[in-house]
Amino acid sequence: MTELEEAMAELELLVAYICRQGLQLDGKLLKDVLRIKTEFNEQKALSEEEEAAFWQYFNELVKQVAPASVVSIRDSNPSHSWQARFPKQFKKVHRIPLYYGLLVCAIIILTVSLQTYYMVGIGVIHKTHALFAERNEFREKLQVLSLNPSHKASSEWLAIKRKEQELDQEFDANRTLLLRWNKYWQLGLSTEVAISEFDKFTYHQNKAKLTAQLDFTIEQRQTKDSAKQITKLKDKISELDKAFVLHQARQAFFDSRLSAEYVVNLLANYILPLLYGLLGALTLVLRNLHLDFKRGTFSKKLCLDYNLRILLGGVAGVSSSMLMGDGTGVPQGSYSPMLFAFVLGYNVEIMFALMDNIANRLGDKKA
């Protein structure tokens, strides 16, 4: 099909669109262009003068539909006859809003899920840290009071002991919740507690010494003093095992808390700002998509602009975390950086326009 034949086919589409939209149309221009079209259909050719006149008329009709174009009308707002002639193209174009809508729904679900996961993690980390410090403080008070046997039966000692037990139970519950929280990003995989080789060597060496002393004492003639010595050695071995198990438990807790802090920082500084930037860009894309279809200005070429806007929205979201970051460890769960990432994603063109302006000014100064 030649360009002239294609323009003849699109002529009806243009005229029908102008009439449906109630736009002004010169009657003489319409008669002339239809006359030329009829002549072309009959003779399958036009003279040079007729073809030149046709292209002028066609140009005037295209100006009438601005800001829409022939391509956008054909893609987004064709007549029913045009839809019947090109059903596959029409369905393909009108599925584009569905694809972007599904993408927005997926991003929203993922963002809400990760935001909830992030807030739970922040709360558990802070609560566990506070309970650990408070419980140790009460344990130190108990140790000080226990130095004087008369204080063990006092009301103050009992109150502190009761509070220490409550804190210990609450700490264990939060520690368990922290381990369960870590299971999600670990994809359910369990990790062994990594004890340093020096700690293992020290534990086994001390236990071997105590065990050797115990065996030697048992082999000796049993006396009253040796029985006390055996009991004392067994207690020391039991305390050594208990201390090693406690060391393993604390090592597991500190590993879990440190890992959780890294994951929370990753969510707060990169993943969530990226998602909010994408969400802001997608919100603007859906809004523009609706307006483009409504005005008849949509064409498949705009998808490239939409995809680029979404990509730049993600970049702007990640950049916002660098602008709003405080450089501290665990963030405080403020929503303002996320809101800033969303706004930057929505207004990504303004951000990059400012960057281009700054770059141009710096270039002018160097020149």
Q: Which amino acid is at 331?
A: P
Nearest CA to 117 out of 249, 271, 344 is that of 271
End-to-end alpha-carbon separation of the chain, Å? Answer: 52
What are the φ and ψ backbone dihedral angles of 187, each rounded to 5 degrees? Answer: 60, 35
Distance, CA of 293 to CA of 331 (rounded, Å) = 42
Cα–Cα dist 19/21, whole Å: 5
3-state secondary structure of 228: helix
Name the domain count of the chain: 1
Separation CA 356–CA 286 (nearest Å): 26
Residue 108 CA to residue 243 CA, distance in Å, equals 48
Q: Where do we find the tokens 């809003």?
A: 97
**48 domain-assigned:** yes
Look up residue 318 and give its two tokens: 């990640």
Residue 141: inside a domain, yes or no?
Answer: no
Q: Which residues, 6+ apart, have CB-to-CB distance to 347 below 8 Å? A: 280
- The helix (H) or strand (E) run that includes residue 152 is none
Using only C-alpha atoms, what is the Rg of the chain?
A: 38
- Tokens matching residue 223: 């006396």
The boundaries of the domain holding residue 34 are 3-97
Distance CA 323, CA 332 (A): 16
Q: Give the residue carrying structure tokens 């004087």.
A: 148
- Could you tell me how many residues make up the chain? 367
Contacts of 229 (CB under 8 A, 6+ apart): 217
Closest CA to 89 of 327, 237, 300: 300
Query: Residue 118: which of 52, 200, 25, 184 has the closest Cα?
Result: 184
Residues in CB range of 156: below 8 A, 6 or more apart: 145
Identify whether 58 is part of a domain: yes
Would residue 93 count as lying in a domain?
yes
Residue 238 belongs to some domain of the structure: no
Contact 346, 281 (CB under 8 A): yes
Each residue's pLDDT, cut to its tens digit, for the chain (367 residues) gives 688 888 887 887 888 888 877 788 888 888 888 888 888 888 888 888 888 888 898 888 888 888 888 888 777 766 666 666 666 777 788 788 899 999 999 999 999 999 999 999 999 999 998 998 888 888 888 877 777 766 666 777 788 888 888 988 898 899 889 989 998 888 877 767 677 788 778 878 888 888 888 888 787 767 767 788 888 888 888 888 888 887 788 888 888 888 899 999 999 888 999 999 999 999 989 998 888 888 778 888 888 889 988 998 888 888 877 776 554 344 444 456 777 788 878 887 777 677 667 767 766 665 5
What phi, psi does 68 have (nearest 5°)? -70, 165
Place of tokens 């055996």: 230
- Tell me, yes or no, whether 17 lies in a domain: yes
Q: Is residue 330 part of a domain?
A: no
The answer to whether position 69 is within a domain reads: yes
